[in-house]
């Protein structure tokens, strides 16, 4: 017998878990959540610091994609770690809860996305959030996603915040009234453990909601269509291919790289790209996989020989970590609760800038090549992000085989404005660090930028070392124009029936900050759209039950 559910959600990350939770509240509605990976309850996922075991390599928790050679990065191949398993990338990321600037959402609205302005989305951010620190009009309590203060008790918090304050910057809540400034990171943790989207939205309800089916280690390979209507998903589970049917809808939440890949494998995309691969065209939708946007990231690195607060693989550092592990097991505090990027900040490059152009993230260790190179030396790093890059890239198929990774081209630093903003941001932060009485005298060596004298020098080193900050978005852009992939008023895929998208691929412009929280927002919004349509079409008794 063919397995059938009302709704099939493809992807157990921040785009899929919230919508699966919300749709399964009504016990008469059956929901199936498909996840290609496992349950992600392993210690390397649960313990924040141990993300360093998963980010650098391909394993059961990380797809670990490569990009195509990047002409803006001197032809280098970039790296795109993406979470695999329940929680998706929220199971391996740096846990930062960051919504972006309010103006980002007003920009979405102005770009043709009615109902996505900041006044519209703030209640949904609050709905999903339980913030342990802030109780005000900008934050929520009682939501599923736990947001907490860091529990590392690291003395570098004070050193770095004193340094930034003395440079004329101010401490803010970046998710509150004013983004520009600095803060100790707000993290998606609970009692010192990671709070992924799966921990928040699925684990607490999975045992009691019998109408919610979660299939792990189940790879979606193709959307099944009857005419222009999505009616199911072909999957491979335990080596066997089968089809799971949807009575009502299929909701794609596989992320900005794999949602367009699945659409293209299913015959939805640019016909000129798909026909040469022998893929039958279901719907010619030219922008699927295009308009990829991601935050380019350059890392400043300073060797500081201090094993008390700064990570490193020295004998003293390893001995200290052993003691910290004991503390973590006793108290759920200390270095093993670190998200690495412990101090975050935003800066405008000119007084006329309506929003910050640059984000900086101080890391209590030397971050080199996505932790694929482990450093014995102790030190401090700072990520410099271009928040609103103008460069655009793409995600395309390399073959008609679902087993083959997509061709990912972020097209980093293609636009000269992106380079200019990164150069200026890096120079400013470098001056703050070296000129401070807190950090400057501690620096033994500037690892990457000691010889930079001119803007040309800075550009050269940035092009030689920059890569992603892990925030791909925009490959199934929403809008109300004829070039949009999904309709902003429903997140339905244009030209098709029974198919929506609920992940970062729908963003019409990248948000100014980390992208997990905005993806949760998109999932909440998708659930609202689905439930509103269900109420409109239901009998009065059924509609009343759904409202309650």
Spatial CA neighbour of 159 closest among 437, 427, 548? 437
Asked if 466 contacts 297 with a C-beta cutoff of 8 angstroms, the reply is yes
Q: Is 315 helix (H, G, I), strand (E, B) or coil?
A: helix
Q: CA dist 310 to 273, 305, 313, 321, 499, Å?
A: 48, 8, 10, 11, 48
Spatial CA neighbour of 462 closest among 70, 78, 67, 73? 73
Q: How far apart are CA 130 and CA 89, in angstroms?
A: 20
Asked if 79 contacts 468 with a C-beta cutoff of 8 angstroms, the reply is yes
Q: How far apart are CA 80 and CA 407, in angstroms?
A: 11
Q: Is 396 helix (H, G, I), strand (E, B) or coil?
A: strand
Q: How far apart are CA 347 and CA 340, in angstroms?
A: 21
The tokens for 264 are: 């293209």
Catalytic residue among 139, 378, 383, 471: 471
Q: Is 461 helix (H, G, I), strand (E, B) or coil?
A: helix
The tokens for 401 are: 């085989």
Q: How far apart are CA 348 and CA 366, in angstroms?
A: 26
- 471 catalytically annotated: yes
Token pair 């040469």 is found at: 276
H-run or E-run covering 525? helix 516-537
Spatial neighbors of 208 by CB under 8 A, at least 6 apart, are none
Asked if 21 contacts 144 with a C-beta cutoff of 8 angstroms, the reply is yes
Asked if 425 contacts 360 with a C-beta cutoff of 8 angstroms, the reply is yes
Q: CA dist 304 to 154, 366, 393, Å?
A: 15, 9, 37
H-run or E-run covering 8? strand 3-10
Give me the phi and psi of 467, to 5 degrees please. Answer: -160, -155
Asked if 545 contacts 126 with a C-beta cutoff of 8 angstroms, the reply is no
Task: Give the active site residues.
Answer: 471
């Amino acid at each position: 017998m063919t397995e059938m559910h009302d709704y099939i959600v493809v992807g157990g990350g921040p785009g899929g878990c919230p919508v699966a939770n919300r749709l399964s509240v009504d016990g008469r509605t059956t929901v199936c959540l498909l996840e290609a990976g496992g349950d992600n309850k392993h210690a390397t996922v649960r313990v924040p610091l141990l993300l360093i075991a998963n980010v650098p390599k391909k394993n059961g928790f990380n797809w670990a994609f490569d990009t195509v050679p990047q002409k803006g990065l001197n032809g280098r191949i970039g790296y795109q770690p993406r979470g695999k398993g329940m929680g998706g990338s929220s199971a391996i990321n740096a846990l930062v809860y960051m919504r972006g600037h309010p103006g980002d959402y007003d920009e979405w609205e102005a770009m043709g996305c009615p109902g996505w302005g900041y006044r519209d989305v703030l209640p949904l951010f609050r709905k999903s959030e339980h913030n342990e620190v802030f109780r005000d009009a900008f934050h929520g309590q009682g939501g599923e996603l736990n947001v907490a203060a860091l529990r590392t008790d690291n003395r570098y918090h004070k050193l770095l915040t004193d340094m930034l304050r003395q440079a004329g910057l101010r401490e803010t809540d970046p998710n509150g009234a004013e983004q520009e400034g600095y803060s100790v990171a707000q993290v998606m943790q609970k009692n010192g453990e990671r709070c992924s989207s799966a921990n928040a939205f699925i684990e607490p309800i999975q045992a009691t909601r019998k109408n919610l089916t979660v299939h792990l280690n189940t790879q979606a390979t193709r959307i099944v269509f009857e005419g222009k209507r999505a009616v199911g998903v072909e999957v491979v589970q335990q080596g066997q291919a089968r089809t799971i049917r949807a009575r009502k809808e299929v909701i794609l939440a596989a992320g900005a790289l794999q949602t367009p890949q699945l659409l293209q494998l299913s015959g939805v995309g640019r016909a000129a790209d798909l026909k040469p691969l022998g893929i039958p065209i279901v719907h010619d939708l030219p922008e699927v996989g295009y308009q990829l946007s991601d935050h380019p990231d350059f890392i400043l690195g300073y060797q500081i020989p201090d094993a008390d607060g700064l990570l490193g693989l020295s004998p003293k550092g390893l001995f200290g970590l052993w003691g910290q592990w004991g503390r973590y097991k006793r108290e759920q505090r200390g270095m093993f609760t670190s998200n690495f990027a412990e101090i975050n900040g935003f800066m405008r490059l000119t007084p006329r800038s309506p929003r910050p152009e640059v984000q900086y993230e101080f890391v209590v260790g030397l971050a080199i090549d996505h932790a694929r190179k482990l450093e014995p030396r102790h030190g401090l790093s700072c990520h410099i992000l271009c928040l609103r890059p103008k460069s655009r890239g793409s995600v395309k198929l390399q073959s008609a085989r679902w087993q083959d990774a997509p061709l990912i081209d972020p097209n980093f630093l293609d636009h000269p404005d992106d380079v200019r903003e990164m150069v200026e941001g890096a120079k400013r932060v470098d001056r703050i660090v070296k000129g401070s009485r807190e950090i400057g005298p501690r620096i033994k060596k500037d690892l990457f930028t000691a010889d930079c004298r001119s803007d040309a020098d800075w550009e050269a080193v940035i092009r030689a070392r920059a890569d992603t900050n892990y925030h791909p978005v925009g490959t199934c852009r929403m809008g109300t124009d004829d070039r949009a992939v999904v309709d902003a008023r429903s997140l339905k895929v244009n030209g098709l029936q029974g198919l929506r998208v609920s992940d970062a691929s729908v963003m019409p412009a990248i948000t100014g900050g980390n992208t997990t929280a905005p993806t949760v927002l998109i999932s909440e919004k998708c659930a609202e759209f689905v439930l509103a349509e269900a109420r409109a079409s239901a009998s009065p008794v059924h509609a009343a039950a759904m409202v309650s």
